Amino acid sequence: MVLQGSHCLGGGLEGGKGEPFTAFDPISGQALPPTYHDADAGQVDRAGELAAAAAAAFAATAPSQRAALLRIIAEGLEALGDELNRRITQETALPAARATAERGRTMLQLRQFADLIEDGSWVDARIDRGDPQRTPLPRPDLRRMLVPLGPVAVFGASNFPLAYSVAGGDTASALAAGCPVVVKAHPAHPGTSELVGRVVATAVQRLGLPAGTFAMLHGRGNAVGERLVAHPGIAAVGFTGSHNGGRALFDLAARRPSPIPVFAEMGSTNPVLVLPRALAARAASIAAKVAESSLLAAGQFCTSPGLLLCIDGPGADLLRQELAARLTAACAAPTVHGSIRAGFERALAEVATLPVTAASAAAGTSTAATAVCPTLLQTAARSLLLHPRLRTEIYGPAVMLVVCRDAAELLQVASVLPGNLTATVHGDGDDFVLHPAVLDALRRCCGRLIANGVPTGVEVTPAMVHGGPYPASTDARFSAVGTTSIQRWARPACWQDWPAELLPVELRDDNPRRLRRLVDGRPE
Amino acid sequence: MVLQGSHCLGGGLEGGKGEPFTAFDPISGQALPPTYHDADAGQVDRAGELAAAAAAAFAATAPSQRAALLRIIAEGLEALGDELNRRITQETALPAARATAERGRTMLQLRQFADLIEDGSWVDARIDRGDPQRTPLPRPDLRRMLVPLGPVAVFGASNFPLAYSVAGGDTASALAAGCPVVVKAHPAHPGTSELVGRVVATAVQRLGLPAGTFAMLHGRGNAVGERLVAHPGIAAVGFTGSHNGGRALFDLAARRPSPIPVFAEMGSTNPVLVLPRALAARAASIAAKVAESSLLAAGQFCTSPGLLLCIDGPGADLLRQELAARLTAACAAPTVHGSIRAGFERALAEVATLPVTAASAAAGTSTAATAVCPTLLQTAARSLLLHPRLRTEIYGPAVMLVVCRDAAELLQVASVLPGNLTATVHGDGDDFVLHPAVLDALRRCCGRLIANGVPTGVEVTPAMVHGGPYPASTDARFSAVGTTSIQRWARPACWQDWPAELLPVELRDDNPRRLRRLVDGRPE
């Protein structure tokens, strides 16, 4: 497929009408052809209008048809072959093995949602049978299920060029739910986005779905995304990225004449707590695991461990030494984009004005234009308690170590942590039962609580929770990963005394799709 | 129980420290003792802090303990006997039979949530079993369930002094979920609120629950509620009332440093559509039903039918005549508060500047200080299409009749309707199958679609949906009525490889509570 600098709009391909930009090779810093152009205001509005016009027809498609769409997209990703991996590697400097693995995950997600909607029980159908004899008034027949919210604006993520971008988890779950999707492609990987966007657009066309079912727009700055979120045709927003970006979209959506829900997953520090017996028994191996997890993809994971907590005691020095050795011995590594390096360095400069010691790998171990140096930071618990900046995310390969004086100080620290995607606890023997208050504080600040593991590695399964209290996400009531993430794009609707033959098939008495339903509050 | 002008705070009763106010008898316009005082800033802050301090302990209570709390509150409401009915009638002018019925509904809601959490399956537990042999990495064991969000601020409604006030649906569902509650009592019925608040506070005390589990604050203006919603201890908001009030709280919550979800149920026009065969066959009886529904409680229901649509043809004149006769023959009726009469009259004055004809009962048929005159409004479809004000709610006993020229014009009207709680269709024979596009447009604009009925009368059952696209509510993904309303106050949490003996009982392998769970994506 020859890259043309295309947007996907109205069922066809077209160039952008705004300012030009290109991708950059993060290693060489060289521009990568072709030239892309931002969508202009008219193109954004057209995408919103077409999506709104397609919403009713797409919502009315059979689940089997949407499942076919998702599976054809998965096949299309596979058919892109090495071309896709090469472009991902060029645009993001992520290793080829990662590109392959991420494609596998993206295809898995698409197929999981296909299976989910073919099974159909996710619509949470409930029937309360009527009673014409009830006094003083008859009891009506009520039937309720989840229905699609309407067009979803999806923002591609820089750090997941496939799995959280054009045909990633947000798009797959929104299409599965029956919502048209307008993707704002991430400007760090427009070529990858074009390849994938054309696969999705072709699949939509092949199935004869409405032209507004899918669109993809490029835009280097904020204007395209902002206009899209403000468009009256858009009904919900999915975003994975920085706190500043997610919060700006959330604020914009909340200020609309008709506000819409925004699910922004904005990362976190992902605290890792080492309890005393584990610290004494295996400080070096825990440090090695945390270092390895924090260095993955140059720290460009929302779940990268950025805060390591323990109580002073046997093993604390070893933990620090081993962590320092691992991090400072690691090579500086390229990030996806120069703006990520700039953000990382700005964050380090911010914490350097506070009582923090820092040690990093010798600069210059990578010649990449976007390279960042893995860094160990250390601060005292009282400083972390005093300075909120020390408990917020530094996106990139940095770990902040905090050795607390005693269990009471550790509890103080755990109690002030902001919302996180994950929290991890290392413990041996009676470690867990001896620290219930700290564990409870950690549990309350996060979406996923992990024992004796690392936070990176997010399984795509029904029980996964990838979200958490603000600022990890803008709505802790939902997950961005796993099959429950479809719930972000649906709302309940209820039919009262509706003619039986006109009810959605999911709510008919004979339950032809054999869904798990509640009838009069009990499983059928 | 002698009314003392009490707030409930910190497990005890105390007077407010702000400005004084009283309830008013809507009939006589006379002040009703005792004098209440607004909570001052310190009292609001204390309520927020105590609720936050109680959150972990209350979340950790057994469902059986919270069920006991809800049942003791229900018993306490019953034990208030005639005293409660008398005060409701005095403060709101609602008839005694309504007070009795609403108490029954409130007790039913409390007991339904008690049953729901004792059953326990609402937590939507999911277990994905691990696989240590998986390559390249072992698959972790993941266990997920819903956990409480934290303290909920509940705003009492003027029109439901019991069922959507101090111990109403929002409070019952939040306490059931394990969330402490701070109620902002509605200033139209402070005495009713005090009676109920003291019942709840006594129940909390009797069970030895943390003092911050429940608080109730009075406040005549907006200051108390605004400070409460902005308080960092508050994690979510439940509101039933006007669009202006709900939107103001939503905006405030969205602007917080850490935004919180607001479920505001703000009412709607609840369109009623009469299709041609039904119009020809039973225009008079439909008009009578709609008139009766719109006159209930002087139109003070969120689900009051405010917009009646049909296509010109046989029966249209009869529909209009019968509706006019019923509405203008009805007595002017007292509303709960002078501000509601003022709002109704202001709304009528607004639409009077537009191409609308109005007919109402002779003024003066009620001497009540807060009385409003039932009013029939009529406008042309083209005016409704042109003037958004004509498709938004007039809170009170007014019905806007729109006779469309033909089916195409009806579809145009249906397509521009804003979000509604309900939409109702009257049809006979092939009416339903002949108008799929109109019915689809109606379905998409509402939470509950009703055939051949009236929108008033909201069943409290698992399949009920009371919510809908904005401006009916601020989050269409949830319902304010029925057992699913508990989902507003919960978020998913996930435990990864967590020690089995420390897992919540809901997630243990042996499933001692026999919950319906998904294991590896399938029912257990």
pLDDT at site B367: 75
Of A419, A432, A461, the CB nearest to B142: A461
CB contact under 8 A, A258 and B463: no
pLDDT at site A1: 85
The Cα of A140 is separated from the nearest Cα of chain B by a number of Å equal to 8
Residue of A nearest to B143 (CA): A463
Report the candidate in B393, B309, B412, B379 with the shortest Cα–Cα distance to residue B344.
Answer: B393
Per-residue pLDDT of A397-445, as tens digits, reads 999 999 999 999 999 999 999 999 999 999 999 999 999 999 999 999 9
pLDDT at A295 over 90: yes
Report the candidate in A234, A237, A238, A255 with the shortest Cα–Cα distance to residue A49.
Answer: A234
**A chain contacts of residue B477, beta-carbon cutoff 8 Å:** 149, 261, 487-488, 490-492
Starting at the earlier edge strand, list the strands of the sheet with B262-265. B12-15, B6-9, B214-217, B181-184, B152-155, B236-240, B262-265
CB contact under 8 A, A440 and B464: no
| Tokens (6 digits) for A325 | 């050795």
The Cα–Cα gap between A36 and A382 comes to 49
**A chain contacts of residue B173, beta-carbon cutoff 8 Å:** none
pLDDT bracket for residue A309 (50, 70, 90): very high
The Cα–Cα gap between A463 and A459 comes to 9
**A chain contacts of residue B440, beta-carbon cutoff 8 Å:** 56, 60
* Contacts with B174 (C-beta within 8 Å, 6 or more apart), sequence order: B152, B154, B180, B181, B236, B238, B489
The Cα–Cα gap between A360 and A377 comes to 9
The torsion angles phi and psi of A399, rounded to 5 degrees, stand at -125, 130
pLDDT at site B469: 98
CB contact under 8 A, A494 and B449: yes
Residue of A nearest to B137 (CA): A457
The Cα of A79 is separated from the nearest Cα of chain B by a number of Å equal to 24
Per-residue pLDDT of B265-303, as tens digits, reads 998 999 999 999 999 999 999 999 999 999 999 999 999
Q: Helix, strand, or coil here: B46?
A: helix
pLDDT at site A332: 84
pLDDT at site A127: 98
pLDDT at site B363: 55
pLDDT at site A458: 95
Please report the beta strands in A118-277, taking only residues with DSSP state E, as ranges in sequence order.
126-128, 142-148, 152-155, 181-184, 214-217, 236-240, 262-265, 271-274
Q: Which of B91, B102, B265, B506 does the annotation list as catalytic?
A: B265
Q: Which of A179, A302, A404, A446 does the annotation list as catalytic?
A: A302
Mutate to test the interface with B, among A289, A496, A514 (most CBs of B within 10 A): A496
pLDDT at site A457: 94
The Cα–Cα gap between B480 and B489 comes to 11
CB contact under 8 A, B462 and A521: yes
Of A144, A419, A465, the CB nearest to B463: A144
The Cα–Cα gap between A326 and A324 comes to 6
Q: Which of A91, A265, A409, A506 does the annotation list as catalytic?
A: A265
CB contact under 8 A, B449 and A474: no
| A302 belongs to the catalytic site | yes
**A chain contacts of residue B452, beta-carbon cutoff 8 Å:** 497
Of A126, A457, A479, the CB nearest to B462: A126
Q: Are B268 and B242 in contact (CB under 8 A)?
A: no
Does the ipTM exceed 0.85? yes
Q: Compute the CA torsion angle B43, B47, B53, B58 (nearest 10 deg).
A: 160
**B chain contacts of residue A139, beta-carbon cutoff 8 Å:** 459
The torsion angles phi and psi of A162, rounded to 5 degrees, stand at -115, -55
| Tokens (6 digits) for B28 | 């006589």
Per-residue pLDDT of B154-180, as tens digits, reads 999 999 999 999 999 999 999 999 999
Q: Are B462 and A127 in contact (CB under 8 A)?
A: no
Report the candidate in B503, B521, B523 with the shortest Cα–Cα distance to residue B512.
Answer: B503
pLDDT at site B362: 62
Report the candidate in B186, B261, B265, B237 with the shortest Cα–Cα distance to residue B464.
Answer: B265
SS3 of chain B: helix, strand, coil, percent, to 5? 45, 20, 35
Q: Helix, strand, or coil here: B192?
A: helix
User: CA-CA distances (angstroms) from residue B362 to A98, A405, B330?
Assistant: 77, 79, 9
Mutate to test the interface with B, among A465, A484, A507, A517 (most CBs of B within 10 A): A465
Q: Are A310 and A281 in contact (CB under 8 A)?
A: no
CB contact under 8 A, B464 and A128: yes
pLDDT at site A267: 85
Of B250, B464, B499, the CB nearest to A451: B499
**A chain contacts of residue B495, beta-carbon cutoff 8 Å:** 448-449, 451
CB contact under 8 A, B465 and A250: no
pLDDT at site B1: 85
pLDDT at A362 over 90: no
Q: What is the rounded radius of gyration, in angstroms, for the C-alpha atoms of chain B?
A: 25
Q: Compute the CA torsion angle B89, B94, B100, B101 (nearest 10 deg).
A: -160
Q: Compute the CA torsion angle A243, A246, A248, A253 (nearest 10 deg).
A: -150
Q: Which of B8, B179, B302, B310 does the annotation list as catalytic?
A: B302
The Cα of B164 is separated from the nearest Cα of chain A by a number of Å equal to 21
**A chain contacts of residue B469, beta-carbon cutoff 8 Å:** 491
pLDDT bracket for residue A363 (50, 70, 90): low
The Cα of A428 is separated from the nearest Cα of chain B by a number of Å equal to 10
Of A432, A463, A488, the CB nearest to B144: A463
CB contact under 8 A, A258 and B452: no
Per-residue pLDDT of A175-221, as tens digits, reads 999 999 999 999 999 999 999 999 999 999 999 999 999 999 999 99
Helices (H), ranges, B80-157: 81-92, 96-119
In sequence order, the β-bridge partners of residue A420 are A446
pLDDT at site A74: 98
Of A463, A470, A516, the CB nearest to B127: A463
CB contact under 8 A, A499 and B432: yes
Per-residue pLDDT of A11-57, as tens digits, reads 999 999 999 999 999 999 999 999 999 999 999 999 999 999 999 99
Residue of B nearest to A440 (CA): B56
In sequence order, the β-bridge partners of residue A400 are A307, A377
Q: Which of B5-19, B115-129, B318-332, B354-368 has the lowest mean pLDDT?
A: B354-368
**Average pLDDT value over all residues in chain A:** 96
Q: Are B190 and B23 in contact (CB under 8 A)?
A: yes
Of A447, A494, A497, the CB nearest to B465: A494
The Cα of A272 is separated from the nearest Cα of chain B by a number of Å equal to 14
CB contact under 8 A, B493 and A443: yes
Of A127, A477, A497, the CB nearest to B491: A477
Q: CB neighbours (10 Å) of residue B406?
A: 11
The torsion angles phi and psi of B480, rounded to 5 degrees, stand at -90, -10
The Cα–Cα gap between A469 and A458 comes to 18
- pTM of the entire structure? 0.97
The proportion of chain B whose per-residue pLDDT surpasses 90, expressed as a percent, equals 96
Please report the beta strands in B278-370, taking only residues with DSSP state E, as ranges in sequence order.
307-311, 333-334, 356-360
Of B143, B452, B476, the CB nearest to A149: B476
**A chain contacts of residue B259, beta-carbon cutoff 8 Å:** 250, 254, 470, 474
The Cα–Cα gap between A83 and A41 comes to 32
Mutate to test the interface with A, among B124, B141, B144, B430 (most CBs of A within 10 A): B144
pLDDT at site A51: 98
Over residues B483-491, mean pLDDT? 98
Mutate to test the interface with B, among A149, A272, A477 (most CBs of B within 10 A): A477
pLDDT at site B268: 95
Please report the beta strands in B3-98, taking only residues with DSSP state E, as ranges in sequence order.
6-9, 12-15, 20-24, 31-37
Q: How many CB pairs under 8 A join A and B?
A: 200
pLDDT at site A223: 97
pLDDT at site B365: 62
Which amino acid, one-letter code, is at A258? S
pLDDT at A349 over 70: yes
pLDDT at site B443: 97
**B chain contacts of residue A56, beta-carbon cutoff 8 Å:** 440, 444
| A446 belongs to the catalytic site | no
Residue of B nearest to A143 (CA): B463
* Contacts with B10 (C-beta within 8 Å, 6 or more apart), sequence order: B46, B50, B211, B212, B215
Over residues B322-337, mean pLDDT? 91
Q: Which of A326-335, A347-356, B97-106 has the lowest mean pLDDT?
A: A326-335
Strands B490-496 and A446-451: what pairing? parallel
User: CA-CA distances (angstroms) from residue A166 to A59, A162, A347, B87, B443?
Assistant: 20, 7, 29, 60, 30
In sequence order, the β-bridge partners of residue A357 are A378
pLDDT at B252 over 90: yes
Per-residue pLDDT of B189-232, as tens digits, reads 999 999 999 999 999 999 999 999 999 999 999 999 999 999 99
The Cα of A397 is separated from the nearest Cα of chain B by a number of Å equal to 22
DSSP letter for B506, please.
Answer: G
CB contact under 8 A, B502 and A447: no
**Average pLDDT value over all residues in chain B:** 96
pLDDT at B419 over 90: yes
